[in-house]
């Protein structure tokens, strides 16, 4: 639910950041528009060992997943 114009602008900025910097796009081989394309020859054994962390944005409406360090 959007409460007022200030809240709406905040939600739109959060979504824009999520969409352009994090969300994977099929046509970009699962890369986000503002990130470099992934290496097509990724090692499958390394992928099986990934430690992934979730970060909720906008109270859980948007979810980002990142590799843990």
For residue 21, the model assigns a pLDDT of 73
Q: How many domains does the chain have?
A: 1
User: What pLDDT score was predicted for residue 17?
Assistant: 83
DSSP code per residue over 1-29? ---SHHHHHHHHHHHHHHHHHTS-BGGGT
Q: Which tokens sit at 36?
A: 């470099």
What distance lies between CA 9 and its chain's CA centroid? 19
* Containing structural domain, residue 39: 5-67
Looking at every residue in the chain, the average pLDDT score rounds to 75
- Summarize pLDDT for 32-60 with one digit per residue, the tens: 666 665 566 666 666 666 677 888 888 88
Please determine, for residue 5, whether its predicted confidence score (pLDDT) is greater than 70. Answer: yes
Kindly report the pTM of this predicted structure: 0.50
At 9, the pLDDT band (50, 70, 90 cuts) reads very high
């Amino acid at each position: 639910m959007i409460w007022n114009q200030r809240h709406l602008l905040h939600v739109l900025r959060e979504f824009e950041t999520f969409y352009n910097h994090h969300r994977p796009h099929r046509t970009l081989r699962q890369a986000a528009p503002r990130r470099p394309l992934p290496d097509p020859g990724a090692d499958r054994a390394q992928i099986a060992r990934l430690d992934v962390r979730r970060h909720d944005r906008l109270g859980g409406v948007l979810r980002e997943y990142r590799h843990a360090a």
